[in-house]
Amino acid sequence: MAAEEDIILSFQELNLNDNLLRAIEASGYTNPTDIQRQAIPVAVSGRDIMASAQTGTGKTAAFVLPALEKLQQPSQVQGRGPRVLILTPTRELATQIQDSIKRYARFTKLRSGSIVGGAPYPVQERLLRSPLDLLVATPGRLIDHMERGRVDFSRLEMLVLDEADRMLDMGFIEPVEQISAATPDSRQTLLFSATFEGNVEKLARRLLKDPMRIQVAGAKEKHTQIEQRVHQADDYDHKHRLLSHVLNSEELSQAIIFTATKRGADDLAEELTEQGYACAALHGDMKQGARNRTVQRMRRGDVKVLVATDVAARGLDITGITHVINFDLPMVAEDYVHRIGRTGRGGAFGVAVSLIGPQDWGKLSQIERFTGHRLERSVVVGLEPTRSEPRGGGGDKHRGRPNFSRKGNAPRPRSQSASPRGNYRGQDDAFGQSPYSQQPRQPRGREQQGNSYGNARFSDNGAPRHSKPSGERPKISYARPQRKTGQRGDYR
């Protein structure tokens, strides 16, 4: 199959209604991620799902979009209770899911709310009395309300268990089973979990009916034939200078540079062409014929540098590509893996360089959590950054199970470029103790600190305890980084 044909994938194929497609477009997404492509059609068909997908794969949309699609049809049952219930382990996750619901449901009249530990009861009681289509909840607090007779599940059609493994790790097995038992038998159940190991499989057997198993492949691929490194850039100009340095390296034969937006790709391709590079852009605004011709020119070697959006992250199979350069990091961590897979093909050795601006640390740590390994920090002599790497990944709000220890990555070599121009060196030592030598910060909500469930409260490890929970709410920033290139809705 022609590789360039693989890169046309769109949300239209998933048969979602126009309101959702508009919201998806407004979110800047063009192509569904793997988990979305696999899960959405099955969920929309009404079948139960058991999906293994980590954070960073776009899994939230994989259950929120089919839920919203289902809610387009009026309920068959009179009442005010939620028609979709999403259970998730922590307050932070609940907030993020609720944000996603708001984003994807913005062109609908659907009502949603969340019930989490640590928030005042009266507000939640009012929410549960009002008509509700979707409810996002952490198990402990929801059980509290159920025990007080405040939750009406008579209309419930869909139950989603998000991060099921983590809910079980936190000791929520009983609440989850109790909540499921209180919902109608006729419901559809979608279970998402990073792993199916341990009790997740058993829980699934009890709660799901003939589920379709979905597994997103390749997340942990090591790409040992690809040298991966990051360069920290102080600002946009610094990024450009680092880019020129990489493009001028002697071992570079052909490169793909990924940008976040279509406009960014056009602008950068134009600049590089002016600087004398045999360069072309590739993105989703180009007609298919033009895209194919560009790929052919790249294949023939007429184009040395391709500046592309994530439309080129998959499927493109050109053995001459020695370098992948992430001028902007991808929105979805999973796309990082697809992007770098454009080099090091057919047994060749490849180089993947990511340029990290001040706003990119959160995305970088999401990528590192997703792939399970830390990327080598390198500096170019003469182009050193003036700032230090922020501790803990730059106010990273991303969740997932941090899994870094020095053991897995050590000994970290002082990277020396093979190129005489290169002259990289490992940067960590320059900053004293690396933030990765410690356990990365885990935001703790009250739900994690101790949920009210009967008389017992759950401690972090899930074991019931009886101490009073602290009323302190952790300060977590949900601010989105600003984009440098292009506009929102201008992706791919």
Question: Is 440 buried (19+), middle (13-18) or exposed (0-12) by CB count in 10 A?
Answer: middle
Of residues 18 and 210, the one with the C-beta less far from ligand AMP: 18
Task: Report the alpha-carbon distance of residue 422 to residue 415 in Å, rounded.
Answer: 10
Only segment of 52-60, 112-120, 197-205, 263-271 that touches ligand AMP (CB under 6 A): 52-60
- What distance in Å separates the CA atoms of residue 466 and residue 450, rounded to the nearest whole number? 8
- In this structure, what are the phi and psi dihedrals at residue 61, rounded to the nearest 5 degrees? -65, -30
Exactly one of 38, 57, 193, 326 binds ligand AMP (CB under 6 A); that residue is 57
- Closest contact distance (angstroms) between CB of 93 and ligand AMP is 9
Q: Residues 23, 61, 260, 312: which binds ligand AMP (CB under 6 A)?
A: 61
Residue 467, classed as helix, strand or coil, is coil
| Sole binder of ligand AMP in the list 16, 19, 42, 58 (CB under 6 A) | 58
Query: With respect to ligand AMP, which residue has the nearer C-beta, 262 or 323?
Result: 262
CA dist 101 and 86 (Å) reads 11
- Do the Cβ atoms of 336 and 367 come closer than 8 Å? yes
Amino acid at 420: P
Pairing mode, if any, of strands 424-426 and 254-258?
unpaired
Residue number with CB closer to ligand AMP (92 or 227) = 92
Two tokens at 230?
A: 């990051």
For residue 454, give Cα distances in angstroms to 6, 41, 449.
Answer: 53, 39, 15
Which among 59-67, 156-164, 232-240, 388-396 is the span making contact with ligand AMP, rule CB under 6 A?
59-67
* Cβ nearer to ligand AMP, comparing 56 with 118: 56
**Minimal distance in Å, beta carbon 1 to ligand AMP?**
22
Candidate residues 19, 55, 378, 485; the one interacting with ligand AMP per rule CB under 6 A: 55
Cβ-contact 192, 59 below 8 angstroms: yes
Q: How far apart are CA 229 and CA 374, in angstroms?
A: 9
Q: CB of 50: closest distance to ligand AMP in angstroms?
A: 17
Q: How many CB atoms lie within 10 A of CB 248?
A: 11
Q: Specify the residue, 33 or 452, whose C-beta has the smaller distance to ligand AMP.
A: 33
Residues 3-32 that bind ligand AMP (CB under 6 A): 29, 31-32
Question: Cα–Cα distance between 263 and 487 in angstroms, integer?
Answer: 8
Is residue 332 at the binding interface for ligand AMP, with CB under 6 A as the rule?
yes
Task: Assess 486 for contact with ligand AMP (CB under 6 A).
Answer: no
- Using CB under 6 A, which residues numbered 96 to 135 contact ligand AMP? none
Place of tokens 């309101």: 19
By beta-carbon proximity to ligand AMP, the closer residue of 58 and 357 is 58
Q: Which is nearer to ligand AMP, 32 or 357 (CB)?
A: 32
Picking from 139, 136, 195, 148, the residue whose alpha carbon sits closest to that of residue 171 is: 139
Minimum separation from the CB atom of position 424 to ligand AMP (A): 30
Sheet holding 321-326, edge to edge: 279-282, 305-308, 254-258, 321-326, 350-356, 226-232, 376-380, 424-426
What is 31-64 written as a DSSP string?
S--HHHHHHHHHHHTT--EEEE--TTSSHHHHHH
* Closest distance to ligand AMP from the beta carbon of 274 (Å): 30
Query: Is 283 near ligand AMP (CB under 6 A)?
Result: no
Contact 365, 400 (CB under 8 A): no
Range in contact with ligand AMP (rule: CB under 6 A) among 57-65, 145-153, 233-241, 420-428: 57-65
Report the sign of the C-alpha dihedral through residues 275, 276, 282, 287, in that order: positive
Tell me: does residue 219 bind ligand AMP (CB under 6 A): no
d(CA 65, CA 16): 8
Residue 285 or 428 with smaller CB distance to ligand AMP: 285
- Residues 19, 38, 52, 60: which binds ligand AMP (CB under 6 A)? 60
Write the single-letter amino acid at 450. G
Taking the complex as a whole, the smallest distance from the CB of residue 332 to ligand AMP amounts, in Å, to 4
Considering the complex, state which of residue 30 and residue 449 has its C-beta at the smaller distance from ligand AMP. Answer: 30
193 binds ligand AMP (CB under 6 A): no
Specify the DSSP class assigned to residue 322: E
Report H helices in 316-379: 333-340, 361-371
Which tokens sit at 281? 């852009």
Using the rule CB under 6 A, which residue among 105, 269, 331, 351 binds ligand AMP? 331
Nearest distance in Å: CB 388, ligand AMP:
26
Q: How many residues bind ligand AMP (CB under 6 A)?
A: 14
Question: Taking contact as CB under 6 A, which single stretch among the options 54-62, 165-173, 256-264, 416-424 is the one that binds ligand AMP?
Answer: 54-62
Q: Please list every residue from 32 through 51 that binds ligand AMP, using CB under 6 A.
A: 32-33, 36
Two tokens, residue 453:
């469930």
- Residues within the interface to ligand AMP (CB under 6 A): 29, 31-33, 36, 55-61, 331-332
